[in-house]
Amino acid sequence: MARRREEAGPTLTTRVVIASGLLALLGVAIFVVLLLTINRQRDAAALTADSQRVLLAATRLERRAIDLETGERGFVITREEAFLQPWTAARRAIPGDSRELNRLATVPAQHRRAQRITDAIASYLRDYSIPLVEAARRNDPSAGTVATTAAGKRRIDALRAQFDGFVTSVRKTAETRKDRADEDARQAVIAASVGFVAWLVLIVVYSVYLTRAVVRPLRRAAAMAGQLAEGDLSVRMPETGTAEIRTLEHSFNTMGSSLEASRAELTSSRARVVAAADETRRRIERDLHDGTQQRLLSLALELRAAENAVPGELPALKAQLSGTATGLAEVVEDLQEIARGIHPAVLSKGGLGAAIKALGRRSVIPVHLELRTDRRCSEPVEVAAYYVVSEALTNAGKHSQASEINVEVATVDAALRLSVSDDGVGGADASRGSGLIGLHDRIESLGGTLEITSTRGNGTSILVKIPIDRHDEVDD
* Whole-number Å distance between alpha carbons of 373 and 238: 44
Q: What is the CATH number of domain 2-215?
A: 1.20.120.1730
What are the domain boundaries of the chain?
A: 2-215, 349-476
What SS3 state is found at 333? helix
Residue type, 395: N
Burial profile 418-445: b = 16 or more Cβ within 10 angstroms, e = fewer: bbbbbbbbbebeeeeeebbeebbebbbb
Compute φ and ψ for 410, nearest 5 degrees.
-150, 160
* Whole-number Å distance between alpha carbons of 403 and 92: 135
Residue 471 is predicted with a pLDDT of 38
Residue type, 297: L
Residue 289 is predicted with a pLDDT of 56
Q: What is the largest CA-CA distance in the chain?
A: 205
Q: Which residues of the chain have pLDDT under 70?
A: 1-9, 12, 233, 241-243, 252, 263-291, 293, 297, 330, 332-346, 429-436, 469-476
Residue 322 is predicted with a pLDDT of 77
pTM comes to: 0.44
Q: Quote the CATH superfamily of domain 349-476.
A: Histidine kinase-like ATPase, C-terminal domain (3.30.565.10)
Residue 119 is predicted with a pLDDT of 92
* Whole-number Å distance between alpha carbons of 151 and 158: 11
What is the CB neighbour count within 10 angstroms for residue 353?
Answer: 17
**Is the Cβ–Cβ distance between 342 and 284 less than 8 Å?**
yes
* CA angle (182, 184, 190) in 5-degree steps: 100
Compute φ and ψ for 413, nearest 5 degrees.
50, 55
Among candidate residues 413, 389, 381, the one with its CA nearest the CA of residue 461 = 389
Residue 266 is predicted with a pLDDT of 64
In DSSP terms, 422 is beta-bridged to 405
What SS3 state is found at 377? coil
